[in-house]
Amino acid sequence: MGQDSVVARLGRWLALDHTPTSVLFSGPPMVGKTTLALIYTRALMCMNRPKGALLECCGECFPCKALLAGPFSDFTFVLPRTKQITVQIVSEEYDDFSVALRHPVHSRKRVIMIDNAHTLNEQTGNMMLKLFEEAPDATVFILVTDHPYDVLPTIRSRCEEIRLCEEPALFLSEKLIESGTDPDCAKRASRFAQGKWVLARILADDKKLLEGVESLTSAFFEILGDYGDKAGFVSVFVEVSNTLSEHLEKREKEVIAWTLPDAKALGLKKKKELERWEVSQTRLNEIARSAQKTTLDWLREALVHEGCNTPVSEASAFARSNILEITALIDRAETWLMQNVNEDYLFYALASSLGRMR
């Protein structure tokens, strides 16, 4: 992944052995925040990190190998499965983070990582602030969030913030090609990746989904040209957003499965107890909404790309002269989506509104 300036900054911390005890990784969804945070964690904990390396690690010492299997005694990973991380959850599942006060046993540093850190409520935040004060320098807290301004101000002010941004399509295409993706597929996937490495990887790995996105944008311009099939447009939209949602849900479950060794260590072995570690329905709804929002964003980007730059059809010419009005319709649909309006009704209403603009 890219983020060269960010990687260089993290590398300097490691090279100077001057690593902050609390770090906040922030940025838009799917840019690779958690992935980079885990890479940094591995370099931080490595016992034999190569000299002059940025975020590389030896790959052979105990913490390097143990992190590939999941959390272990020196590493605690918190992935919220409810709307808030409460004191009760921290007490029952993570023993009040009492390990934060102990020196690492097998690693250079003990790391406590909290994904979706904006879900820490005020009481849990106060607990974290106390730990920030009392924990030894060998303990590092790493927080990850899509919503940095929703992180408690008292927590955010105590963290060094690492902000990740979207990457240019050309860069993503080059990285996909380096990882073995066909150049044509890499170029097409990068175009729709919105600068997000995770989304680029999903589209490159699922060619059917990539073709679906391309079909969706074609159907979108047919609707604008007033000769498209509204029901067909809605069908493709729903299929694309559902497929993307399945990919995002799969990634979430993979992370949860990765945390299960820690859950079992806490004695959560009965089926009923393990169900607490599944993706909650609330989280599934959030993932679905995120996929639908991304699909709406594809329409907006197609409008700008095709409607402004590629006058290949009557529909494109129409789009250029109405770009602000069409964008406003898409923005309104996105707002309704976040308000839990029925998506089938919403998408058909959007298609009808676009068709009536002729």
Q: H or E element: which one contains 75?
A: strand 75-78
Q: CA 38, CA 41: separation in Å to the nearest integer? A: 5
Domains, the chain, with CATH or none:
4-163 (3.40.50.300), 206-356 (no CATH)
Answer left, alpha or beta for residue 250, where phi above 0 means left and psi between -120 and 50 means alpha. Answer: alpha
Break the chain down into helix, strand, coil percent, rounded to 5: 65, 10, 30
Q: What is the number of other CB atoms lying within 10 angstroms of the CB of residue 25?
A: 28
The residue whose two tokens read 């009965």 is: 270
Res 204: pLDDT: 95
DSSP per-residue codes, 297-319: HHHHHHHHHHHHH---SHHHHHH
The angle subtended at Cα 39 by Cα 200 and Cα 11, nearest 5°, is 110
The residue type found at 56 is: E
> Cα(110)–Cα(19) distance, rounded to whole angstroms?
12
Which residues are 78's β-sheet partners?
114
Query: Can you give the pLDDT at residue 277?
Result: 62
Classified as helix, coil or strand, 139 is: strand
Please, is 27 exposed, middle or buried when counting C-beta atoms within 10 Å of its C-beta (0-12, 13-18, 19+)? buried
What is the pTM (predicted TM-score) of this model? 0.81
For residue 262, the model assigns a pLDDT of 62
pLDDT tens sequence across 43-85:
999 999 887 778 889 989 999 998 888 788 899 998 887 788 8
Q: Which pLDDT belongs to residue 308?
A: 43
State pLDDT tens for residues 92-118.
888 888 999 999 999 999 999 999 999
Please give the Cα distance from 299 to 332 (Å, whole number). 13
Angle (CA) 265-119-251 rounded to 5° is 60
Low-confidence residues in the chain, pLDDT < 70: 1-2, 226-228, 260-278, 305-321, 324, 339-345, 354-358
Instruction: Tokens 């105990």: give the residue.
Output: 62
Helices (H) and strands (E) in the chain, counts: 16, 5
